[in-house]
Amino acid sequence: MAYNDFNMDSHWLPFTPNRAFRKDPRVFVAADGMTFTTHDGRQVIDGISSLWCVGAGHNRKPINDAIKKQLDTLDYATAFQASNDQAFKAAEMIAQMAPGDLNKVLFCNSGSEAADTSLKVALAYHRARGEGHRNVFIGREKGYHGVGFGGMSVGGIPANRKVYGTALLPRVDHLRFIHDPANAYIHNREPESQEDFLLELENRILPLHDPSNVAAIIVEPVAGSAGWYIPPRGYLKRLREICDKHGILLIFDEVITGFGRMGTAFGADFYGVVPDMLNFAKCVTNGVIPLGGVICRDRIYDQMMKTDAAEHVIEFFHGYTYSGHPVACAAAVATLDVYRQENLFARAGEMGKVLGDAFHSTFKGLPNVIGIRSLGLAAAVELAPIAGSPGKRAYDIFVDCFKKGALVRPAGDVLVIAPPYVVEKEHIDRLVNTLADSVKAHA
Ligand code: PMP
């Protein structure tokens, strides 16, 4: 099959070093199950669920069929003062899966839009309660909440922020990062830490801004894009308590941890902590069609509906042309059915143990390895950076692994594997062995 029939002049690739890519492209043309086919006819195992999205594996017939059927039935319908049957079905399924009284789903199209939507809901909610002065947001160092201005502002990955300088939201602060060097090695457990990572919130951040001015705190339950950093035991519960004490909304960005990655429906279930808003995207449609959203607790929605304005007035002036797109929502309904029928969240938890065991037994003691972390169906190996060239070692290893048939994820000098939940042990062995060979080759 001739797969190399494309011209690279026009496509400016996102999140990619374009100059290097054009000399040595990585282009997919097909995918099935755990495996991609590249433009030059090679097979590459999907070790990162593409971008943490493909929980059920590629080319799943029930999902594809649902999309095709939906295209032939209702291809699109306006989201302005109207909706479609699929949006109601998907929202109901998602609300039923979500813990506590997280029952109201505001759809959007991506994790970035979910982040900005949740921050806007927080402002509007406080305003509706007569607390419009609450407009400070708190994120966390190395947090990732997408590329919208809101998400970037509360996010804390320096490379994502540095070129925007002061153009980001002004009233934002950041919790300190959750990594304790004493816990460099975490094997399928929540680490215990002597460090109190929330002390600074109580001692510096809240007094500085006055807690009564803080609208929301947003965190990823496990820091995904930073390189799978796991909070110490009790951290999220304590964060919940502090938020409750001061009337601050707690937002979990579950774009990565949502829909099965932790072996549970959500990270909120894994940690037994219910946030006020829960952001999702990625795995909700198995990555096949873009869809994101924010699940809000009843009291947020109820407050927004309690308004003196006339009934024809829009209570929350926010939405996207494609909010609740019928094809995306049909994909979500089919995807969530597949997850349930195949019990894939539990499977993710089980295979996560296999992955974690493989990581710890394979990487411990290899050259430059300074940490190994596993929890849920994701594991990370952290390498000492090359002096003066942070990120280069992991990038080179990523490129090398790709050539050897394994797609892994570099994040700074961390390499992450987080495969689809349908992964088999033989895939894990191949992924981990390929990565280990590359780590040795780049010593
Ligand atoms: N939040 C988190 C936690 C993410 O991991 C991501 C994407 N990796 C986003 C938000 C942004 O999602 P998207 O790329 O769909 O905008």
Q: H/E/C letters for each residue in 2-69?
A: CCCCCCCCCCCCCCCCHHHHHHCCCCEEEEEECEEEECCCCEEEECCHHHHCCCCCECCHHHHHHHHH
Question: What CATH class is the domain 18-56+343-441?
Answer: alpha beta
Q: Which ligand 1 atom sits closest to the C-alpha of 115? A: 10
369 CA from centroid of ligand 1 (Å) = 27
pLDDT digits (tens, 9 = 90+) for 37-62: 999 999 999 999 999 999 999 999 99
Q: Candidates 15, 118, 145: which one to mutate for ligand 1, based on the most atoms within 8 Å of Cβ?
A: 145
Query: Which whole-number Å values give the CA distances from 46 to 147, 182, 235, 297, in the listed order?
Result: 24, 32, 32, 35
DSSP assignment of 131-170, as one string? -TT--EEEEETT----SSHHHHHH---HHHHGGGGGGS-S
Domain 64-341 has CATH 3.40.640.10: yes
Structural domain boundaries in the chain:
18-56+343-441, 64-341
Kindly give the pairing relationship between strand 172-175 and strand 136-140: parallel
Q: Average pLDDT for residues 387-397, to the nearest whole number? A: 97
Q: Which ligand 1 atom sits closest to the C-alpha of 224? A: 5
pLDDT digits (tens, 9 = 90+) for 207-250: 999 999 999 999 999 999 999 999 999 999 999 999 999 999 99
**ipTM higher than threshold 0.95:** yes
Q: Candidates 142, 254, 256, 284: which one to mutate for ligand 1, based on the most atoms within 8 Å of Cβ?
A: 256
Same fold? 18-56+343-441, 64-341: no
Q: Candidates 113, 145, 218, 255: which one to mutate for ligand 1, based on the most atoms within 8 Å of Cβ?
A: 255
Q: Which ligand 1 atom sits closest to the C-alpha of 146? A: 11
Q: Which residues pair with 45 in a beta bridge?
A: 35, 406
SS3 343: coil
Q: Average pLDDT for residues 20-39, to the nearest whole number? A: 96
294 CA from centroid of ligand 1 (Å) = 13
217 CA from centroid of ligand 1 (Å) = 17
- The contacts of residue 218 (CB under 8 Å, 6+ apart) are 115, 118, 119, 137, 138, 139, 140, 143, 145, 154, 251, 252, 253
pLDDT digits (tens, 9 = 90+) for 283-331: 999 999 999 999 999 999 999 999 999 999 999 999 999 999 999 999 9
Q: Which ligand 1 atom sits closest to the C-alpha of 110? A: 15
* Burial degree of 316 (CB within 10 A; 0-12, 13-18, 19+): middle
Q: Is the backbone of residue 72 left (phi > 0), alpha (psi -120 to 50) or beta?
A: alpha
Q: Which ligand 1 atom sits closest to the C-alpha of 282? A: 15
Is there an atom of ligand 1 within 6 Å of 144 CB? yes
110 CA from centroid of ligand 1 (Å) = 7
User: In Å, how far from its chain's centre is CA 434?
Assistant: 25
Is there an atom of ligand 1 within 6 Å of 112 CB? yes
Instruction: Report phi then psi at 371, rounded to 5.
Output: -170, 150
Q: Candidates 282, 291, 322: which one to mutate for ligand 1, based on the most atoms within 8 Å of Cβ?
A: 282
1: confidence class by pLDDT, cuts 50, 70, 90? very low
Residue 2, pLDDT > 70, answer no
* Cβ contact 197:217 at 8 Å: no
Residue 97, pLDDT > 60, answer yes
3: confidence class by pLDDT, cuts 50, 70, 90? low
Is there an atom of ligand 1 within 6 Å of 287 CB? no
Q: Average pLDDT for residues 54-75, to the nearest whole number? A: 98
Q: How many CB atoms lie within 10 A of CB 270?
A: 20
pTM beyond 0.80, yes or no = yes
End-to-end CA distance of the chain: 37
Q: Which ligand 1 atom sits closest to the C-alpha of 52? A: 8
